[in-house]
């Protein structure tokens, strides 16, 4: 039996879109035992995956030897761990001084996109495609599936019952993104206009947010209530699996390039993603994703992706998203 260790720590959405790579590794080595090392904050989303034998969270020590190591992560903790682990064959990234380096030729292309803005901008390959080359394994276009349990599904059912949403058309909107990319988030004025229009078309609106959006979600809901616009919202402190169970019950999911996008894809939901300052080409849509790209994306991506621009955040009108739903 082959002993295989996977390292993928973050970001949360990237962990989810690494799932099909791990399944492909299992398909290539069916007689294998796979250990996945990740962060505690995202580990719950890997529960139930039939091709993963165990999930370990940092900090952890792996003193045993492995036949194969795949490190899909370039951050320092991941590359340092990959360097220390004893494995006969290593793929992906390790630490060379203060910088990540590639164990194998297949990992070099993705590594170069991180340091070469021109290559990053011209790249048309998906994340999964680049990681497939890194792992030196064939990858089908099969959509990955998140496995939800009875507890979180019951949570979502009770939420929908309390909100009187059962049997109604629901548009789920995720209003957050990492602080690293402040212009990923749709401008509140555009979001408000979209909510008005989509409600006129018979949809109930469920606003999603996480801990980082708790205050902005609260203020935005209060602002809408002041204008007599009824929306529902999740508890921003709910678990990631409870978040996913609510997403599963929506008819449409509208979001930026964020964790919510990869949750929606993993649940097979019809999804519209707005791309303001990150690459739409790197996201595999599996035939259920509609991408709307800002006309100003390449003025900011990738060199100025960390800047906030109100002009950029307003560059996708509400009517364009409504048209995508048609």
Three-class DSSP category at 286:
coil
Phi, psi (degrees; rounded to nearest 5) at 63: -85, -15
90 and 185: one domain?
Answer: no
Let me know: does 207 contact 199? Beta carbons within 8 Å.
no
How many helices, marked H, and strands, marked E, lie in the chain? 15, 12
Residue at token pair 């970001």: 11
Residue 228: left if φ>0, alpha if ψ -120 to 50, beta else—which one?
left
- Exposure on the CB side of residue 283, measured as CA atoms within 13 A: 28
**Is the pLDDT reported for residue 141 higher than 90?**
no
pLDDT confidence bin for 178, thresholds 50/70/90: confident
Tell me how many domains the chain contains. 2
Q: Per-residue pLDDT tens for 143-154?
A: 999 999 999 999
pLDDT confidence of residue 162: 98
Residue at token pair 């890997």: 46
pLDDT confidence bin for 130, thresholds 50/70/90: very high
129 and 170: one domain?
Answer: no
pTM for the complete prediction?
0.96
170 and 128: one domain?
Answer: no
Dihedral over Cα of 312, 314, 319, 323: its sign: positive
Let me know: does 85 contact 63? Beta carbons within 8 Å.
no
Residue 186 forms part of a structural domain:
yes
Interval 32-39 mean pLDDT = 98
Radius of gyration (Cα) for the chain, nearest Å? Answer: 20
**Is the pLDDT reported for residue 180 higher than 90?**
no
Q: Which of 135, 165, 198 is the endpoint of a domain?
A: 135
Q: How far apart are CA 75 and CA 15, in angstroms?
A: 13
Q: Per-residue pLDDT tens for 112-128?
A: 999 999 999 999 999 99
Residue 118 forms part of a structural domain:
yes
Q: Which domain holds residue 23?
A: 2-135
118 and 163: one domain?
Answer: no
Q: Return mean pLDDT, the chain.
A: 96
pLDDT confidence of residue 176: 80
Q: Per-residue pLDDT tens for 233-259?
A: 999 999 999 999 999 999 999 999 999
Residue 22 forms part of a structural domain:
yes
97 and 202: one domain?
Answer: no
Q: Which of 107, 135, 163 is the endpoint of a domain?
A: 135
242 and 319: one domain?
Answer: yes
Distances (CA, A) of 295 to 104, 195, 257, 272: 37, 22, 16, 16
CA dihedral 112→116→117→123, nearest 10 degrees, is -40
172 and 316: one domain?
Answer: yes
Q: Per-residue pLDDT tens for 59-93?
A: 998 999 999 999 999 999 999 999 999 999 999 99
**Is the pLDDT reported for residue 139 higher than 90?**
no
192 and 302: one domain?
Answer: yes
Residue 141 forms part of a structural domain:
no
pLDDT confidence of residue 206: 98
Parallel/antiparallel/unpaired status of strands 65-71 and 2-7: parallel
User: Looking at residue 262, which CATH number applies to its domain?
Assistant: 3.40.50.2000
Cross-strand bridge partners of residue 95: 100
250 and 291: one domain?
Answer: yes
Q: Please state, for a pLDDT cut of 70, what percent of the chain lies above it.
A: 100
61 and 168: one domain?
Answer: no
Q: How far apart are CA 189 and CA 76, in angstroms?
A: 39
**Is the pLDDT reported for residue 179 higher than 90?**
no
Q: How far apart are CA 262 and CA 272, in angstroms?
A: 11
**Is the pLDDT reported for residue 140 higher than 90?**
no
Residue 146 forms part of a structural domain:
no
Length reported for the chain:
326
Interval 263-285 mean pLDDT = 97
Residue 69 forms part of a structural domain:
yes
Phi, psi (degrees; rounded to nearest 5) at 185: -90, 130
**Is the pLDDT reported for residue 280 higher than 90?**
yes
114 and 177: one domain?
Answer: no
Let me know: does 319 contact 162? Beta carbons within 8 Å.
no
Residue 140 forms part of a structural domain:
no
Residue 213 forms part of a structural domain:
yes
Complete edge-to-edge strand list for the sheet that includes strand 204-208: 232-233, 204-208, 170-174, 252-256, 270-275, 289-293
- Tell me: cis bond preceding 103? Omega within 30 of 0 counts: no
Interval 185-209 mean pLDDT = 97
Q: How far apart are CA 3 and CA 87, in angstroms?
A: 9
**Is the pLDDT reported for residue 212 higher than 90?**
no
127 and 207: one domain?
Answer: no
Among 221, 212, 153, smallest CA distance to 12 is for 212
């Amino acid at each position: 039996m082959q002993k295989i260790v996977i390292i993928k720590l973050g970001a949360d959405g990237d962990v989810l879109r690494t799932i099909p790579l791990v399944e492909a590794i299992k398909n290539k080595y069916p007689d294998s035992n796979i250990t996945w090392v990740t962060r505690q904050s995202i580990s719950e989303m890997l529960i139930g995956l039939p091709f993963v034998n165990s999930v370990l969270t940092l900090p952890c020590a792996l003193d045993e030897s492995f036949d194969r190591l795949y490190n899909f992560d370039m951050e320092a903790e991941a590359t340092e761990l990959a360097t220390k682990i004893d494995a006969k064959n290593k793929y992906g990234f390790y630490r060379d001084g203060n910088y990540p380096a590639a164990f194998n030729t297949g990992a070099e292309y993705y590594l170069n996109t991180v340091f070469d803005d021109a290559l990053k901008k011209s790249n048309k390959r998906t994340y999964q495609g680049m990681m497939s080359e890194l792992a030196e394994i064939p990858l089908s276009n099969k959509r990955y599936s998140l496995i939800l349990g009875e507890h979180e599904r019951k949570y979502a059912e009770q939420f929908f019952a309390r909100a009187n949403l059962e049997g109604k058309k629901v548009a789920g909107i995720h209003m957050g993104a990492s602080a690293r990319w402040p212009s990923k988030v749709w401008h509140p004025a555009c979001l408000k206009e979209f909510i008005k229009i989509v409600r006129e078309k018979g949809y109930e609106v469920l606003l999603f947010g996480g801990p980082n959006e708790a205050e902005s979600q609260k203020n935005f809901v209060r602002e809408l209530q002041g204008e007599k616009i009824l929306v529902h919202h999740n508890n921003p402190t709910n678990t990631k699996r409870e978040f996913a169970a609510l997403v599963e019950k929506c008819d449409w999911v509208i979001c930026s390039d964020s964790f919510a996008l990869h949750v929606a894809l993993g649940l097979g939901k019809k999804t519209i993603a707005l791309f303001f300052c990150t690459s739409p080409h790197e996201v595999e849509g599996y035939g259920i994703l509609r991408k709307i790209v800002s006309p100003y994306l390449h003025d900011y991506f990738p060199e100025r992706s960390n800047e906030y621009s109100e002009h950029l955040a307003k560059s996708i009108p509400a009517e364009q998203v409504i048209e995508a739903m048609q």
